[in-house]
Chain A
């Protein structure tokens, strides 16, 4: 009897020791993991999480010119921006801009990627050319386009003149400015999207095409039934990233139009910049930034909800 109870007790104490040893090991591996994560946690914290929280905080205050909070105003900043015609105009411009740039960018780069993926002589050269705009900074590209758009000596107007048409004030005419900026943006984004889509195309198993060849499928049948579905994860990624990028456009606006003419190209990020660093209204600028953040979050969530259904992951 006593022997038995001793045995049971020692069994229980063994369990306890095992449990403690396991706990210690778990703790150790947790600390190790944290150590590895520390650099990125610190960097993200300083440059991302803190500014984010600070922005939300600021959006409920009025500030002085140096950004110090002065008066707590609650939701007043938000109410002001949603009644301000300038902000509503900039929202409209932003959505139009997304609508102009995203589909065309994706469509053109998909086309270029498909033709550059053909096994022909000299495709390497064209791949380099098509992806080269990725290597050009926004500022350099904008200045380059600034010259093309120049009303008197710009190439575009020269071409129009050659065909006997009137010159267009590409960046000064309210009807044309947003389109001109869109064309610039499309040109700049094609490099990146082209490269990603080409990578996606090349990762499609060549056996699928060979099998389709034997089955007697034609070029467009293969394109429709194999290439596009197999590319859908990449397409989805590209669309998401391009939309986010379009919402965050700043550099080309600053250089080409400064938001003009008549606020037609005053996209939301540029509007935030002007509110904060030209008008020194950090409170309402922060409110706009928060609205933009929520907007992008919503758009991306919607895409994942509705777009991902049509995506075939392997």
Chain B
């Protein structure tokens, strides 16, 4: 029994095509659950349906084991942080934070108690008399958080709360929100289009595309065993390198669109792999710098990014641009011919037609475990 349960939830506007299709989901108590997907995937709509701001076209929504389809937002005992914070511009920070408590006619002493507690928690104590326009983006964000925390609702919904902040502040707030959630034991449903946010914050992630669930799972699972091509290319930065591939006639090699051949152990090729038309994928960090022993291919570099702690190299494979990510600093220039190692045990195999995963990489996962 989860705290939030969605059963066959669908949404359509004006009886047109479904924006959300038969969503089944259970969110546990105290869990940090992230809904991630590209814009237009329906993630915000789903969140607004949980909040009660949008009607549910079909299906059942349960919060704390109660069907709430018919309840207005205020009776669902939840709080929400909006993308643009939705602060009242004419009220001070204090009035903004207390708005909901006053509306619910909470006792004056209780209001003050919660206000001081929340303000102290978020470092807003010195800003209580200011108006929102006198605050910086990060401070506004904190006020929005405070407004949601002060309600003491067990369930908190967040709709892309960090997208208006600059990169540095965003990284800070990520940690802060995560800490707050753990400390208060909130159940959090967090919507974002940023896969980094999803990976770093979520206990579990749901990837949504075109109104359909692509995969639900732990961040690491999504990274290592993406359920389909969409999840594989959406999760991870740089995105997973992909290409259509065929087995050579002797089953010992894999040919990526005619050009590069990758050696493969015939024993690991299952029957299903042989029959399907396949797309292979390999993470950028699994294309290794070639040493005299392990070099499998030579590639011509078309772009280099020196990040200091790592170097990413882009090169052409068949018609696609692939990237390799190597730790450390490498003196490589555009146009160089570089030896690399691409081996079969790091490849993920997908069905080209359905896009579904056939077999995840065999070596990648074990390496991750060692890395931890």
A205 within 8 A of B: yes
Chain B residue with minimal CB distance to A226? B88
Bound: A47/B147 CA distance, A: 56
Q: Which of B31-39, B76-84, B173-181, B332-340 contacts A (4 or more CB under 8 A)?
A: B76-84
Cβ of A208: which chain B residues have Cβ within 8 Å of it?
Answer: 86, 88
Cβ of B73: which chain A residues have Cβ within 8 Å of it?
Answer: 210, 213-214, 216
**What are 12 A-B pairs at a CB distance below 8 A?**
A205-B86, A207-B82, A210-B51, A213-B53, A213-B74, A214-B52, A216-B73, A216-B100, A216-B103, A216-B104, A226-B88, A314-B89
B151 within 8 A of A: yes
Whether the Cβ atoms of B99 and A212 lie closer than 8 Å is yes
B123 within 8 A of A: no
A166 within 8 A of B: no
Chain A residue with minimal CB distance to B133? A314
The contact string, 1 if C-beta is below 8 Å from chain A, for chain B 124-151, is 0000000001000000000000010001
Cβ of A214: which chain B residues have Cβ within 8 Å of it?
Answer: 51-53, 73-74, 78-80, 100
Whether the Cβ atoms of B103 and A211 lie closer than 8 Å is no
Bound: A212/B87 CA distance, A: 10
Interface set, chain A 294-314, CB cutoff 8 A to B: 312, 314
Interface set, chain A 156-215, CB cutoff 8 A to B: 205, 207-208, 210-215
Whether the Cβ atoms of B89 and A210 lie closer than 8 Å is no
A32 within 8 A of B: no
User: How many whole Å from A224's CB to the nearest CB in chain B?
Assistant: 11
**CB within 8 Å for A215 and B74 given contacts A207-B82, A221-B103:** yes
Cβ of A314: which chain B residues have Cβ within 8 Å of it?
Answer: 89, 133
B90 within 8 A of A: yes
Chain B residue with minimal CB distance to A216? B74
Chain B residue with minimal CB distance to A232? B90
Chain B residue with minimal CB distance to A213? B73
Cβ of B100: which chain A residues have Cβ within 8 Å of it?
Answer: 212, 214-217
User: How many whole Å from B86's CB to the nearest CB in chain A?
Assistant: 4
Cβ of A211: which chain B residues have Cβ within 8 Å of it?
Answer: 80, 82, 86, 147
Cβ of B78: which chain A residues have Cβ within 8 Å of it?
Answer: 214
**CB within 8 Å for A217 and B99 given contacts A210-B53, A211-B80:** yes
Chain A residue with minimal CB distance to B157? A214
User: How many whole Å from A213's CB to the nearest CB in chain B?
Assistant: 5
User: How many whole Å from A50's CB to the nearest CB in chain B?
Assistant: 43
What number of A residues sit within 8 Å (CB to CB) of B?
Answer: 20
Cβ of A205: which chain B residues have Cβ within 8 Å of it?
Answer: 84, 86
Cβ of A225: which chain B residues have Cβ within 8 Å of it?
Answer: 88, 91, 99
Cβ of A218: which chain B residues have Cβ within 8 Å of it?
Answer: 103
Interface set, chain B 299-327, CB cutoff 8 A to A: none
**Chain B interface: which size bin?**
20 to 34
A residues sitting closer than 8 Å to B (CB atoms) are 205, 207-208, 210-218, 221, 225-226, 229-230, 232, 312, 314
Interface of A is mostly: helix
B72 within 8 A of A: yes
**CB within 8 Å for A213 and B72 given contacts A208-B88, A314-B89:** yes
B residues sitting closer than 8 Å to A (CB atoms) are 51-53, 72-74, 78-80, 82, 84, 86, 88-91, 99-100, 103-104, 133, 147, 151
**Most interface-central of A205, A216, A312 (chain B CB within 10 A):** A216
Cβ of A230: which chain B residues have Cβ within 8 Å of it?
Answer: 89-90
User: How many whole Å from B225's CB to the nearest CB in chain A?
Assistant: 37
Cβ of B79: which chain A residues have Cβ within 8 Å of it?
Answer: 214-215
Whether the Cβ atoms of B103 and A210 lie closer than 8 Å is no
Bound: A314/B87 CA distance, A: 11
Cβ of A215: which chain B residues have Cβ within 8 Å of it?
Answer: 74, 79, 99-100, 103-104, 147, 151
Cβ of A212: which chain B residues have Cβ within 8 Å of it?
Answer: 99-100, 103
Bound: A119/B23 CA distance, A: 28
Chain B residue with minimal CB distance to A209? B86
Bound: A214/B76 CA distance, A: 8
Bound: A221/B88 CA distance, A: 14
Cβ of A226: which chain B residues have Cβ within 8 Å of it?
Answer: 88
Cβ of B84: which chain A residues have Cβ within 8 Å of it?
Answer: 205, 207
Bound: A216/B74 CA distance, A: 4
Bound: A126/B133 CA distance, A: 36
Query: 9 other contacts beyond A210-B53, A214-B73, A215-B99, with CB at 8 A cut-off?
Result: A205-B84, A208-B88, A211-B82, A214-B52, A215-B147, A217-B74, A217-B99, A217-B100, A225-B91
Cβ of B74: which chain A residues have Cβ within 8 Å of it?
Answer: 213-217
User: How many whole Å from B138's CB to the nearest CB in chain A?
Assistant: 19
Partner of A312, one of B80, B82, B86, B90: B90
User: How many whole Å from B340's CB to the nearest CB in chain A?
Assistant: 50
Chain B residue with minimal CB distance to A314? B89
**Which 8 residue pairs spanning A and B have beta carbons closest together?**
A215-B100, A216-B74, A312-B90, A217-B103, A207-B86, A211-B86, A229-B90, A213-B73
**Most interface-central of B51, B84, B88, B147 (chain A CB within 10 A):** B88
User: How many whole Å from A292's CB to the nearest CB in chain B?
Assistant: 35
Bound: A208/B147 CA distance, A: 13
Bound: A226/B89 CA distance, A: 9
Bound: A216/B52 CA distance, A: 12
Bound: A212/B73 CA distance, A: 9
**Most interface-central of A214, A217, A221, A312 (chain B CB within 10 A):** A214
Chain A residue with minimal CB distance to B84? A207
Chain A residue with minimal CB distance to B51? A214
User: How many whole Å from A89's CB to the nearest CB in chain B?
Assistant: 43
